[in-house]
Amino acid sequence: MAENVFEFTDQNFESEVLQSGSPVLVDFWAEWCGPCKVIGPVVEDIANDYKDQVKVGKLNVDHNQQTAMKYGIRSIPSLLVFKDGSVYNQIVGSVPRERITKLLEEAL
């Protein structure tokens, strides 16, 4: 994973995402998912560009099914923006970078 991209798990999700003092972008993904591979570099670029404002990370749905089920993840990639411990907004599918950054700007 890129330098500014966190790895979220069932075990650290509450402390790293829900208790974060800044907005968090979570990329729900899996290794076998083609569209996830397409959007992965976009998420990494966003993590670098927003490193001082937003925490960005990935959660592998195959290895962390509890969290994926809790948030109703049925299609991947799913990008959820968390703010103040709750889902602020979400995007499903591989989308242009501008759509993701627009959601982040709204959360800031």
* 5, 17, 25, 33: the active-site residue: 33
Q: Which helix (H) or strand (E) holds 29?
A: strand 24-29
Instruction: Please state the rounded mean pLDDT for residues 39-47.
Output: 95
Confidence of residue 1 (pLDDT cuts 50, 70, 90): low
Confidence of residue 3 (pLDDT cuts 50, 70, 90): confident
Confidence of residue 2 (pLDDT cuts 50, 70, 90): confident
Residue among 73, 72, 90 nearest 81 (CA): 90
* 25, 26, 36, 104: the active-site residue: 36
Residue 68 has pLDDT above 90, yes or no: yes
Residue 23 has pLDDT above 70, yes or no: yes
- What is the third-level CATH fold of 5-107? Glutaredoxin (3.40.30)
Name the residue ranges covered by the structural domains of the chain. Answer: 5-107
Q: What is the pLDDT of residues 80-103, one digit of tens each?
A: 999 999 999 999 998 999 999 999
33 flagged as catalytic? yes
For 74, counting Cβ atoms within 10 Å of its Cβ (0-12 exposed, 13-18 middle, 19+ buried), the class is exposed
| Three-state secondary structure readout of 35-50 | HHHHHHHHHHHHHHHC
80 flagged as catalytic? no
